[in-house]
Structure 1
Amino acid sequence: MRVRLENILKQYDELEQVTLTGYKGRPALDHVSLDIHDGETMSIVGPSGCGKSTMLKIVAGLEMPQAGKLFYNDFDMTNIKPQDRGIGMVFQDYALYPVMKGKGNLAYYFQMHQKSEAEMEARVRQTAELMGVDFELLLGRLPDTLSGGEKQRVAIARCIVRDPLVFLMDEPIVNLDAKRRERTRIEIKKLLKKFGITTIYVTHDQQEAIFMGDRITVMRDGVIEQVGTFDELYYSPVNLFVATFIGTPPITILPVQVANGQVIVSQVNHAWNLPEHIAASLPQGALRMGIRPEGWVLNTPDGVTLSVSHIERIPTERAAFVHGNLAGKHINAIASLEQPETKAIALTPDWDKVYFFAAEGEEVIYTPGTPDFF
C-alpha cells in the first residue's frame, strides 16, 4: 500500500503546542509532503518536538490536519475514521490488555467485530506460525509474566492478526534494555520483510532508524529536511543540519578561509593545498569545512597538530577513535586499534571525504557524494 501525505498542515492551539513540542507559534507539521512506497519501511527521525509522532497520528486518523490530504494509493483517506483505515499500531508501552492472555489479546479484534470463532482460531494460528519459534508458548501467558521483548512480540502479532494495510510503529523498543532491543529490532525487521507491509517507524535513535528503514526521513521544526537512504543522507546532505544530525560520532565543522587554491585554518595558522577539482568548486573567502571521523589521514608530514585528549579503543570494530581539540572544536578521528598512546598527532583531510558549507546559514557548497564502492 502506497501512503502519501500531501501538503499536511497541523497547528495546535498555543497551550497544546507548548505541551507537545515545547514551542509556540509554529505548526507541528508545516505543509509536509511525503511519499512512502508500497511495502517500504520508512524511518522518521529528528529532535524532540520535530513532528514525528504528530505525523504518525495524522496517518492513523487520531489527529486531523487543518489542510492537506492523506492518500492510500489514490484513495483519499483524510476524513476516514481511524477504525476504518486498516492501521496496525505498535506503541512503546505495548498497550496489551493485562487481564487477557496472549491469545486473548490477539482474538479481541475478532470478538469486537463479531467474527466467527473458526475465523478467529484460524487467523490466530496462522499468525503464531508466522511469528516463529516459541511464539505459541506466549499465547497462554498473561502480559505481566512476559519480558519486555515478549510483550512487544505479542503486541506486533496483535497488529498482524488484523491483516493491516499499514503498520505504524512509535518507538516500539525504546523501553527495552540494550540486549533485548538489539534482538527485538532484528525480529521486527525480519517480520516486516516477510509480510511486506508498508510501515512508518518513528524513533529518536538514528542507529535504529538506519537499521529498520529502507529510507529515512529527517525532520526539524515541523518540516521535512531530507528523505533518502542512509548513504544519501550521510554523503550528500542537503544542508548543515542533516550533515550534523546523521552520523555517529558526529561530523566536525571547522571555520576556514579559502584562498589561492588553499584552505586555511586561521585559528591554528595552518594551510593545506586543495585538489584542483575541489578548489574550482569553492568560492574564495570564509567557509566551514566538515570532516567525519573517517575523513582524516593520520601521521602525515603536512598535517596539522591535534592535541590528543584520549584514545578510545573499540576491539569489536578493530578500530580506535582519537579524540582531541583543533581550532576550538572537538575532533574524532578513526585510527587502527594498534594506534599508540600519544599527546599529539598530525592530521590531514582525506579530500575525497570532505564537505564545505557556507560561513553563515546552512547552505551546502560541496559534498563528496556517495563513494564509488557503493
Structure 2
Amino acid sequence: MVTVALVDVVKQYDAMEEVTLIGYKHGPALNHVTLEIASGETLSVVGPSGCGKSTLLKVVAGLEYANAGHVYYDSYDMSEIKPQDRGVGMVFQDYALYPTMKGKGNLAYYFEQHDRSEQDMEARVQQVADRLGVDFQLLLGRLPDTLSGGEKQRVAIARCIVRDPVVFLMDEPIVNLDAKRREKTRIEIKKLLRQFSITTLYVTHDQQEAIFMGDRIAVMRSGHIEQVGTFDELYYTPANLFVATFIGTPPIAIVPVNLAGMEIRSGETTWPLPPILADYHLAGPARLGVRPADWILGREDGMELEIRHIERIPTEQAAFIHGMLPGDIPVTALAPLDIPDRPMVKVTPDWERVILFEPEGERVLHTPGVPDLFE
C-alpha cells in the first residue's frame, strides 16, 4: 500500500487539441492540481464530461506525462517513470481481456511476459482465485466471449490483483453493464477493494457510484479540484455553489432572496430573519440553497409551489414533489408517499439546514455544518 500525491500538476495539450468544436480554447486539462490519496484509501473522482477526470487517472498511471508538477508514490517522484514500472493495475470500462485466452490465461499472461516460473504463476493465480471465492474458480476455464459483463470485469480485476499492484486505477469500470449487473458488480468491487486494501483512484461520472465506492470523493471542474471530502462534507458543507448543485439527487433548489433588517424575503413572501442567519449581519440580495428533504410542507408562512409532477417511490415510502416557485424557480421537495394530488402546496425552508450563497458568484456565506448523528 502506498500514498499517492499529486503536487501542483499541470497537463496542457498542444494548441490544436485546445481548440474545441465551437472554436474557442479552454484551459489546461489539469490546472495546478494538488491531491492526496491515502494508503489503502479509495478516492472517487466525479465531475462533468471534459473536466479532466480521465486525464488525472492517466497522469497517475504514467500514460500521460504532466507538463509541470510532480506525482509521488509515497516519497518517490514518479513523474518520469514509465507506466509499466509504476506497479499500477488499471481496469477500464471495456474490460480489455485477451479474447483467445481463458480466464486463467489472462491472469497468467503477466508472468509469461516477465519470465516468472510456472510454479510462481500457478501459486499466485490460485491464491487470488481462492480469495475471490468458489464461483470465481469457474471463470478460469472459460473464454471471455462466454462470460457476462460482470464476470468479464471480475476477471479483469483479478488480472490486476495477481500482479500485486501498489495502486489501482479504475476508469468507469462498470458503465457498460445493465443496471442490475452494475449494482451487483460494484458491490463485488467494493468488497475486493476492502479485502485487498489497495490504494485506489476510481473515476466515474455517476454520483451514486462515487458515493458508494469512495472513502472520499473529489469533485472536478475544468481541470481543477473543487473540493475533496466525504459525501456528508460535500453535501452539507459544499465549498461553493458548483459543488452544492453537483452533489445531491434530486439537486438542491437555488432561490433568490433579499435580507433586510430582521427579515428575509423571497418574491412576495417574507419571514422573520432566522437566528442562524442573523449572526452573519448580512444585508441585501443572496441566494438560498434548500435540499429536497429540507422543505417544510403546508405551513401558512410558506411560498406557493406550483406542482408539476409527483414522483412516488414506494420502496422508500416517500415521494418527490417537482414544481415551480414564482419566477420559474425549479424546486423538488420530499413528501410523504400518500400526499394527495393537488395543484399547489406551500413550502417553507427548514432554516436550520439551509445553505446561503452570495448573489452573483459561487461563494458560500453559510452552511449548516455536518450533522452529528449521535447527538
Short-chain TM bin: over 0.9
> C-alpha separation between the residues in 2 aligned to 1:160 and 1:362?
42
Cα distance in 2 for residues equivalent to 1:133 and 1:163? 21
Q: Is the 8 A contact 2:92 2:173 kept in 1?
A: yes
Following superposition of structure 1 onto structure 2, how do residues 315-334 of structure 1 map, counting pairs within 5 Å? 315-327=314-326, 328-334=328-334
Q: Give matches, 1:195-214, under 5 Å.
A: 195-214=196-215
Task: Tell me, in whole angstroms, the C-alpha distance in 1 between the residues paired with 2:15 and 2:135.
Answer: 49
The CA distance in 2 between the partners of 1:309 and 1:16, in whole Å, is 43
SS, match of residue 348 in structure 2: strand
What is the RMSD computed on CA atoms of the aligned residues?
1.4
The 2-side partners of 1:326 and 1:277 are apart by: 24
**Distance across 1 between alignment mates of 2:317 and 2:49:** 34
**Secondary structure of the structure 1 residue equivalent to 2:58:** helix
Amino acid at match of 1:325: M
**Does the CA contact (< 8 Å) of 1:293 and 1:334 recur in 2?**
yes
Tell me which residue corresponds to 1:308.
307
User: Which amino acid is the alignment partner of residue 371 of structure 2?
Assistant: P
1:79-158 → structure 2 map (5 Å cutoff): 79-158=80-159
Instruction: Give the superposition deviation at 1:17.
Output: 3.4
Query: Is the 1:21–1:50 Cα contact (8 Å) retained in structure 2?
Result: no
Quickly say closer, same or farther: Cα 1:227–1:125, change in 2 above 3 A.
Answer: same
Verify the 8 A CA contact 2:276 2:351 in the aligned structure 1: no
- Quick one: distance in 2 between partners of 1:124 and 1:372? 45
Report if the CA contact (8 A) 1:238-1:364 is conserved. Answer: yes
Partner AA of 1:36 in structure 2 = I
Whether the 8 Å contact between 2:276 and 2:352 is mirrored in structure 1 is: no
Cα shift readout 1:291-347 (whole Å, capped 9, x = no counterpart):
010110011121111111121100111100111100311110001111111111111
Looking at structure 2, the residues matched to 23 and 187 of structure 1 have their Cα atoms a distance apart, in angstroms, of: 43
- 1:169 offset after TM fit, Å? 0.1
Q: What SS does the aligned partner of 1:150 have?
A: helix
Deviation track 1:66-98 (CA, whole Å, cap 9, x = no partner) reads 110111111111111111100000000000000
Give the letter aligned to residue 307 of structure 1.
Answer: E
1:62: Cα distance to partner? 0.5
* Native 8 Å contact 2:356 2:364 kept in 1: yes
SS in 1 for 2:362: coil
Equivalent residue letter for 2:305: L
1:20 and 1:86, CA in 2 relative to 1: closer, same or farther beyond 3 A?
A: farther
Match in the other structure for 2:261: 260
**Does residue 243 in structure 1 map to residue 244 in structure 2?**
yes
Change (3 A) 1:158 1:49: same
For 1:1-374, what aligned pairs fall within 5 Å after superposition? 1-18=2-19, 24-266=25-267, 269-327=268-326, 328-373=328-373
Stretch of structure 1 that moved more, 278-287 or 16-25: 16-25
1:23 Cα deviation after fit: 6.5
Q: 1:87-139 CA deviation, whole Å, 9 max, x = no partner?
A: 00000000000011110000000000000001000100011111123101111
**3-state SS of the aligned residue for 2:352?**
helix
Residues 21/173 of structure 1: CA separation in 2 closer, same or farther (3 Å cut): farther
Query: Aligned pair in 2 of structure 1 residues 331, 46: CA closer, same or farther (>3 Å)?
Result: same
Q: Is the alpha carbon distance of 1:238 and 1:255 closer, same or farther for their aligned partners in structure 2, counting shifts above 3 Å?
A: same
Question: What CA distance in whole angstroms lies between the structure 1 residues aligned with 2:356 and 2:336?
Answer: 27
Change (3 A) 1:84 1:313: same
Q: Deviations over 1:128-159 (max 9, x none)?
A: 11112310111111101110000000000000
Structure 1 residue 14: Cα displacement: 2.5
CA contact (8 A) 1:17 1:28 kept: no
Q: Partners of 1:93 and 1:20 in 2: how far apart?
A: 26
| Alpha-carbon distance in structure 1 between the residues aligned to 2:332 and 2:281 | 25
Moved more, 19-28 or 126-135: 19-28
- TM-score, normalization: structure 2? 0.97
Question: d(CA) in 2 for partners of 1:77 and 1:21?
Answer: 36
Report the alpha carbon displacement of residue 25 of structure 1 after superposing the two structures with TM.
Answer: 3.8
**Structure 2 unaligned spans of 5+:** none
Q: Report % sequence identity.
A: 66
Name the TM-score, length of structure 1 as normaliser.
0.97
Compute the displacement of 1:277 (Å).
Answer: 2.9
Deviations 1:156-176 (A, max 9, x none): 000000010000000000000
- The answer to whether the 8 A contact 1:322-1:334 is kept is yes
Q: Name whichever of 182-191 and 67-76 sits farther off.
A: 67-76
Structure 1 residues 256 and 359: CA distance shift in structure 2, 3 A? same
**Structure 1 consecutive aligned stretches of length 4 or more whose deviation exceeds 4 Å:** 18-23
* Structure 1 Cα separation of the partners of residues 26 and 185 of structure 2: 39
Deviations 1:239-293 (A, max 9, x none): 0000000000000101111112221112xx1111122231221510010111010
Q: Aligned AA for 1:13? A: D
Report the Cα distance in structure 1 between the residues aligned to 2:20 and 2:60, rounded to whole angstroms: 21
- 1:49–1:338 Cα change, 3 Å: same
In the alignment of these two chains, the number of paired residues is 372
Alignment check: 8 A CA contact 1:257 1:285 kept:
yes
